[in-house]
Structure 1
């Protein structure tokens, strides 16, 4: 098993203590079979680990340290916070795949396709709670623990507001003039909330003031939105089941936002008609080949990303030089990957 995965789930022997049952040993094997083993298999799949990296950057922004970062009091818990964030992100992917009825995730069948929806739903929900249970063991101050719980609770609450928009709306039933704002709200509440939570977790571990945490939160939301914009644009060009998935499901997305903003009413209806042909993708592919929507979506995403980076010029971040450098390096990787 990947050593990194062992830090994300209970160690052998912990299940009995967690269950707190007189005869807990009788069901420990069941928990392995129907909860932990499916999660281990999913967590072993390779992922970008981008949001976990954002936790360390948030810590750097708060402490203003570079070479001496490892000497900071709470540095040993940055890896734990990164694991916490990756666990929450993995939980959201499992649940999101159920709601989208997705077939594949990270190159393999989704958890609900492989193990059934009831088991996957329970496993995904359990993975929201387990990492927060562990925070009580961290050797940090009670105030820091409280701030970690606060940041995570707010992030998860906002993400579920965003998911309500995502799964509840048929975006093509929204008036064209309201589509872009609706899509941006969905992006901010979902992708933005998770990235903001990552940066804020690192910041509170680094002892950030409320003002500095607020700047990290603001940048995290803006950066997460830009990430999703590039991802939405990229998903129109990849081959496979993920191509056009959001359009097929009529979900809010950056592509629909750009179409609603840049097309006339007649052209927007034409675009909608091509989307309605999915899963037959040829009409939409042909239409996109003749209309610069994807190119425009990438260009506007780059502008949005540049605007997010301007937040880093805040006086409150003047000492976080190394963290800002790492964020700009991540940005360059992002642009190269999607443009």
Structure 2
């Protein structure tokens, strides 16, 4: 990155699945981007194409620790802070629940204080998991959720709820200009093949001819948003002058069953793999669908990429990944 006085955007968790797409989009907008990531669950290869860009800097560091000098030295130039730092898939965030909770709480505190010192606008990426296994459907931002504070998902669910509380307290006290996005299921290229989420699981199993593993009976629902749509929503939220005191749902309201998702991926890949059913994990939500009225009204945002198109792009990307990892896919992907 150059050493002039150009404004800087900090993206914590910028080497992750969503974070890397966000960094790329911000660079395309002409922003100077500092990507901060500890690479615990993200991958350096996600930002390989950005390394060497004159307006991009990668800093390996953990937000639960004191922020490194390479970041604090830029304090007076930092105008925007995106906090995407946290493992987001259950197998990953449950592998080290203490670190997950500390990332949500201590990490958010560190980044909020940086935003306070720099006068930067701050955006927290929260999650639809704050609604728990919802008793209200679809989920609106004023729904307070049905979350287990003692179960195996609590490190993430309660961590994000605490992060929201802290961010909005900073806003109420006038210490930072805050935005909170509640992200629903997102998919697309650069998902980790082993992250345990349904889209990546089903696609990889279908491409390699493995048994497709469904947890529960397949009747539980999700709403899947393609990553480019989600990134557009995050940038619009950060840019917005009218949203700041309330969380905003970002997701695709096109609800479908997990069984329907399997059917679509089977059709795309032509797999003959069998489907194997396992018990539903503890506290796994049975229904999930965002009410995006607030995002539509205040941001002019709605997802645009059709599911079939997004799944086709994602299948193609995973097929290439599997070849590079010597996990040769047995199947090709149907054309869009």
Give yes or no for TM over 0.5.
no
Q: TM-score normalized by structure 2?
A: 0.30
Q: Highest relative contact order (Cα 8 Å, sep 6+), 1 or 2?
A: 1
Q: TM-score normalized by structure 1?
A: 0.30
More strand per residue: 2
